[in-house]
Amino acid sequence: VRALIVGRGGAPALADAPRPAVPGECLIRVRAAGICGTDLQLLDGYADFAGVPGHEFVGEVEAAGDERGRSLIGRRVVGEINVGCGACASCTAGVKEHCPTRTVLGIVGRPGAFADYVSLPAANLHAVPDDMPDEAAVFVEPTAAACRILEQTRVGPSTRAAVLGDGRFGQLIAQTLKAAGAETLLVGRHPAKLAIAASLGVETAVAGSLPPDAARFDLVVDATGKPEGIAQAVALVRPRGVVVMKSTFHGEAALPTWPIVVHEVTLVGSRCGPFRPAIDLLARGAVRTAPLVSSVARLEDYQQAFAAARTSLKVIFRM
Ligand SMILES: [Zn+2]
Ligand SMILES: [Zn+2]
């Protein structure tokens, strides 16, 4: 079966690979998989990655290694990407995302979804509603990451929120905050991408057009993916406000820290989130994704697909 394998140094190639067979896990035939910024970073050599990337997928369970998995055979599922050891303090507390020996689908120690088949434990899988198209279901994982913010800080109708970054992730975060009731502004540099957000009812602004002393937001989310995003976020948050950090660029950020101290700003690191609320947001159309799909590609056309993903919003592989 096909698998897109990245060698150390970053050059991907389509290869013929054995079907995964992990005892106790589910074998899932991948139907579609989305390209995310993290995948592009892995291709650029981030984390010295080698293996099969891809962690935003929807697929059909074909075989299972346990009772729970057998009940999913034939179902269309999406999958949480962290697999814990099951025994450490984090895993025992139900936080497999922070298991020190975890594997992460398509990122750390576990082949990902840019392939015909992928393997995950049944406990990681969630069935998706029959009427949710594959092209929407691939957004569950990043939407869950957006929902993580709602677990970390109070967001409601009185929240004035700004999201920095008009890329695929910033767009999902802005819609998610808006769905939670927040008055939400998406700030970006790309008029075409901002126009898509505006067409979905999200208020937008061009980066740099906000007065530098416009520190008035209760919550600012940095989804720029760039080292300079965090300083911009700190400049826009009100005293005692919250800055959520979602950018996982490689390297360091230059950040004057005194404003954080003087204005008593709370910095919150934020990664993976809950799937159930994400599926719900997508199912009821509170987060809309069709306009965010820039193109759909065959796995064979991975080079064009990755190139397109660098400048457009979501590129989806259709297996
Ligand atoms: Zn991702
Ligand atoms: Zn563990």
Q: What is the pLDDT of residues 37-74, one digit of tens each?
A: 999 999 988 878 999 999 999 999 999 999 999 999 99
Quote the strand ranges of the chain, DSSP E.
Answer: 2-6, 12-16, 26-34, 56-63, 76-79, 82-83, 103-104, 117-120, 125-127, 160-164, 183-188, 203-206, 217-222, 237-245, 266-269, 293-297, 314-318
**pLDDT at 8 exceeding the cut of 90:** no
**For the CA of 34, the nearest ligand:** 1
Q: How far is the CA of 113 from the centre of ligand 2 (A)?
A: 23
Q: How far is the CA of 151 from the centre of ligand 2 (A)?
A: 21
pLDDT in tens, 137-189: 999 999 999 999 999 999 999 999 999 999 999 999 999 999 999 999 999 99
Q: How far is the CA of 54 from the centre of ligand 1 (A)?
A: 8
Strands 237-245 and 56-63, bridge-based pairing: unpaired
Q: How far is the CA of 308 from the centre of ligand 1 (A)?
A: 16
Q: How far is the CA of 185 from the centre of ligand 2 (A)?
A: 38
Q: Cα–Cα distance between 244 and 218 in angstroms, integer?
A: 11
- Decide: helix, strand or coil at residue 316: strand
Q: Cα–Cα distance between 135 and 119 in angstroms, integer?
A: 20
Q: How far is the CA of 98 from the centre of ligand 2 (A)?
A: 7
| CA 124 from centroid of its chain's CA atoms | 16
**For the CA of 96, the nearest ligand:** 2
Q: How far is the CA of 25 from the centre of ligand 2 (A)?
A: 17
CA proximity to 222, closest of 198, 249, 203, 200: 249
Six token digits for residue 198: 């505006």
pLDDT confidence tier of residue 117, bands split at 50, 70 and 90: very high
**For the CA of 94, the nearest ligand:** 2
| Mean pLDDT value of segment 298-310 | 97
Q: What is the DSSP letter of 96?
A: G
pLDDT at 109: 95
pLDDT in tens, 89-107: 999 999 999 999 999 999 9
Q: What is the DSSP letter of 72?
A: T
Residue with tokens 């948050």: 237
**pLDDT at 213 exceeding the cut of 70:** no
**Residue 232: strand pairing partners:** none
Q: How far is the CA of 94 from the centre of ligand 2 (A)?
A: 9
**pLDDT at 212 exceeding the cut of 70:** no
Q: How far is the CA of 141 from the centre of ligand 1 (A)?
A: 7
The residues, ordered by sequence, that sit 6+ positions from 53 with a Cβ below 8 Å of its Cβ are: 4, 6, 12, 39, 42, 43, 106, 107, 112, 114
Q: How far is the CA of 85 from the centre of ligand 1 (A)?
A: 22
Six token digits for residue 233: 């976020």
Q: How far is the CA of 145 from the centre of ligand 1 (A)?
A: 9
pLDDT confidence tier of residue 301, bands split at 50, 70 and 90: very high
Q: How far is the CA of 310 from the centre of ligand 1 (A)?
A: 14
Q: How far is the CA of 145 from the centre of ligand 2 (A)?
A: 20
Q: Cα–Cα distance between 293 and 185 in angstroms, integer?
A: 21
**pLDDT at 268 exceeding the cut of 80:** yes
